[in-house]
Structure formats: C-alpha cells, structure tokens
Structure 1
Amino acid sequence: MSTLDRAGEAGPTTGVPPVDPDEAVTAPARAPQPPNRRPGLGGRIFVAVALVVTTIAFVYPFVWLVSASLKPRSDVFDNRLIPETLTFDNYIEVWNAAPMAAWLLNTAFVTIMATLTVTISSALVAWGFARYQFRGRNFLFGLVLASMMIPGAATMIPTYLIWDSLGMVGTLTPLWAGNVFGTAFYIFLLRQFFLGLPTELFDAAEMDGAGHWKVFWHVALPLTKPALVVVALFEFQAAWTDLMRGLIYLRDREDFTVPRGLKSMLDQFGFGGEWHWELVVTASVITTVPMILVFFLGQKQIIQGVASTGTKG
C-alpha cells in the first residue's frame, strides 16, 4: 500500500483529512538578493584622490600658519612650508607684546560657562518637550524652532540695551549668560535624541519611586551622553571663536577674549603701521591649538551623537 493510501485510510480515524498532492501549498520562494557590488579599482582610486585633495585643502592653511609663526618678519609671506630660517622667538615675543595669558584665561572662563549653561538648560527644555504631554506642546516647540530663523542682527540692539540697563557692559557676563535660556538648535537636537530612547526605562524608574528630576538626572542624561558631548563641543567652538560679542561688550584690553585680542593685535601690528605679522600669526596658532585638541578628544562622541540623532520623532 502506498503512503498516500495509508494517509487516506488514517484520515477518518485520526481526524486528519487526507492531503491532496495537487493542492499542497509550497512556501514562496525568497526573492533573489542583489549582489553586493563594491566599487572597482577606478572608483576606489577616485575616492582616495578626492579625500586626499579635500584633506590638503583643509589642513594646508593651518600648516602654513604654523610655518609662518616659525619665521622671522621678513620671511612670513614667502610661502615656504619649511622655513628657511627657523626661529622660536615669536612665541616669546608675543607674550610680551600682548597680555595673552589674560586673554586665554578670559576666553576659557567664558567658554566653560557658556558650554555648561547652554548644555544643561537645553537638555532641560528638550526633556520637557520629549517626555511630557501638555496642551500647546507642539505649538511651543514650533515657536522654539521658529526662533532659529530670526537673524542675530535683529536682536543685537535690544540685547545690548538689556545688558546696559543691568550695568553689565564692559564685563564678561554678556558673553555667556544668555545661554542660561538654552539655544533652539541644541534643544531640537537633544529632543530628537530623547525621543529615540525607550520610554520603558523612564516608566520603570518612576514606578520604583524616582521623581521627575531623578529620572532626568540619573536615567535620561547618562543615556544621552553622545548628544550632550556634541552640544558641548559645538558650543565650546562657538564661544571660543566668538568675536562679535567681544567687540560689542568689552572695553578694557585686559578683559579681552582671544578673538577680541587678536582683532586688537591685527589693528596694531597688521594695519597700524608696525607690520609685525609674525606676532599675529603666532598668536593665531596659540589660540587655534586648544580647539584642535578638543575636537580630537571628542571626535568619537561627535560621530556617534550625530549618527544616532534624528532617528525618531
């Protein structure tokens, strides 16, 4: 007896209906996957050449700046990357020609305060928009985003009048205290990151008795470290290189930040008739190196934070 006949006889007794081979349902065939095409030799060479050219375009100005700082005044603009006459006297003279130590300390204070205040305040606002439901939330968040379209020149005079009425003109406070209220771009960036986090973690923490502040400080912030580092580095760079507010609010030379001090050196030694360009480029190197070090230390967090932001919401 064939297998099909035995199955037909067993059908009435076991309750399993016989199977007709013609009606058997077969599993759908998997669609063929496209081959993983890697770029050929010519494509890889083109990408490598493009990367090298782009790298040279970005690195060359700084290499030229370092080279010029190691030359005497007569050779600053000779365009040799390897100085014909190597000298380190410029790095000694620049400290005597300008209060570089005071400028660096002022800039470090402003930068640290601006970075801390804007990171914390922006995270608080972003957490509120991401975690809590309240009437008008989307409308208020839209107003925050709309504030990014207002040019800084439109609020420059009203902001100056506010700080002048508070007696803060001529101090370092206006250069960082405005960050206490957060920044629209950073609020948007952190909100998108908060929305990408699993809400079950926050619900579990609240069920365990954690309050709103404890959930934010001990659960949300540690999970948002990459985005926080991105915000901190962006603001660090913005505050370190901010010239406009230094020109508006600072009066005494000892209170200058590095960008404002470089502007005064350029006016004095570059266009003031003394033509000490070697001091100007040397001071530029001294003030550029800290930013390069900061970005080298934080490049991993920058890539991770940008890659994981904006995936939800």
Structure 2
Amino acid sequence: MPQQPSPPTLPFELVQEIIQSLNGEDDRPTLLSFLRVSKACWETAAHVLYRTILLTKDRTERLFLTGGEDMAVVTESPESRLVHLSPRTRRALSFIERVELKDIEPEHIYLLWAATTPDTPLFPNARQVCLRHFRGRWPNACQYPQKDVPQDVDIFGHIDLCVEMELAFRYIEYLPVQKYKRVSIHNVWSPRFSMTPYPDEWEELRWFEFYAQTFASKVVQRFDEAEAFLDDIDPDGKLPPLTYVVPTDEWEDLTLGSLSKERGWVPSPTSRIQFTFDSADWRAPPCVVCGKKFDWPQDTVVSYKGAPHTFRAG
C-alpha cells in the first residue's frame, strides 16, 4: 500500500505572522489554543494575549491567589495564600504593555505586593496604566490600604498614567512606580496638593477640569496653590509645566483676565503653569493612555440617578 504523503507544514515565520495578526480580546479562544501547541507558539501567542490586561477584583484573585480563600485572611497574611508564580507566568507578566486596574480593594493591593520580586517591577514592561477606582459616582467611599508599602516593592517601572477623578489618585501611592512619564487626571474638581501624593517629577502632568465656570471663578486660588506646589518640589523650575485642560473656551477670557488682574500673569510658553481651553477645533490633545479628554462632552445627555441629565461643560 503506498504511503500517504504528509500534510503540508506552514513555515513557522508564517505561523507567527498569523498569530500576531490576531486580536487579544476578539480572538482570545484561538490564542489560548495556540498556547498549547508548542513553546514557540506559546511565546508568540502570549505576547498578543497578554499585551493588555484588565485587573478587577476577581481577575486579581484568579491570577495571584489560591482558589476559595477568604479575603479577610489575605488581609492579614497575603503571602501565605499567594500562588507560586512559575517562571512562565512571570514571563507572561513581562509581556504586558498596558494595565487597567478597576475597583480593586486593599486586599488585592496586598496580593500585588506579595507577588512582587524585591527590587523588580511586577509588570516590568508596562508602559500605560489606567486607574479606575471609585464606587458609584463619587470617590469618597474609596478604601485605602492600612499598611505601609514594603520598601523593596515596585509594581510598575516607567509609565504613562491615567486616573479617573483626582481623589482616586491617592490610590497610586500604594502601587509604587519607578518613574512617571505622562500623567492625565480626568474630571478634576479641585487639586488637593496637601492631601494627594502627586509625583515629584514628570514629563507631562495634566488635569482635565470638570466645570469650566467653577474653574474660572476660582482660578486665582488654583493658580496660587499650583505655584506653591511647584515652589515646594521644583524651586529651580527644571520640571515641565503642569497644565489645566478646560472643556470649553466659553470662559477663557474671564479666566485669563482674572489671572492678569489679580496676579499680573499672562500666558507664555515658558510658564510653569499652562492653560488649554478646548473648543470646536479640539485644541487640547487627548489622554495618551485612554484616548479621552472629557467623559461628558458639552450638551451631552447622560443618565444620572435614573433620569436623563444634560451635561454642560460650563
């Protein structure tokens, strides 16, 4: 009986191109299958599958915690319930380029600390971090960790950071970063420099203001607070400026006029504090992490407390 010819085999370079063309979310089942084919396929598929990761409470537990444990126990001793991370798992973590953390609790922060190798970031190659941590509409109910961050723990290396609402920025204190690059804080009501652990260095720091009219009425106070903050951490003026991004140019003349009258300040490219007023021509560039500028654009109808509500930027 004649021997049947072997089925044709694709060159591995072509297989790599096929895997790399897949989408980490839409093609997840296919990528999971490729993980089991061979070591070489695992490497290529894992790069695609783990490029972006969303860490919720459930996903953090599944990744770092033994199943079925009471989180109250983890609060006391997270390392005793920590899953041993294999070299392959740690390699997969090194493929992650973008991390979004959403509504995680202090107990999950402790898990991240326990999983971190001393003096080595847990996500060593993450370049973008998006922090979404508040319950409901307001962040006041956020629960912050009650323990001090271990001195040898770094969760991230050099990152661009995006935070939803300024009070939630306090959470980043417990997710230590080696260096901030570009930082965007959305829906700012009033920066609290004395209460919030803002970075002491950055390549770009921007607040996306929430209410343009309120900002215009308090701009002198905001300006003085920002100047005091910069005088404290950057007396020699070596850092790039911090920027207020305002969602409409309707109050631009009033805002700048108040600064000119009260402080003698006029816009200048060399100023440590900058103001960008958005308008129909979209002068303000979007956030480099989430791609957004304002969650509720001017005259947009949203659902608020179960009823339609027209949000106006002014």
Structure with larger RCO (C-alpha < 8 A, sep 6+): 1
Q: TM-score, normalised by structure 1?
A: 0.22
TM-score (norm. length: structure 2): 0.22
User: Which one has a larger percent strand, Structure 1 or Structure 2?
Assistant: 2
Larger relative helix fraction: 1
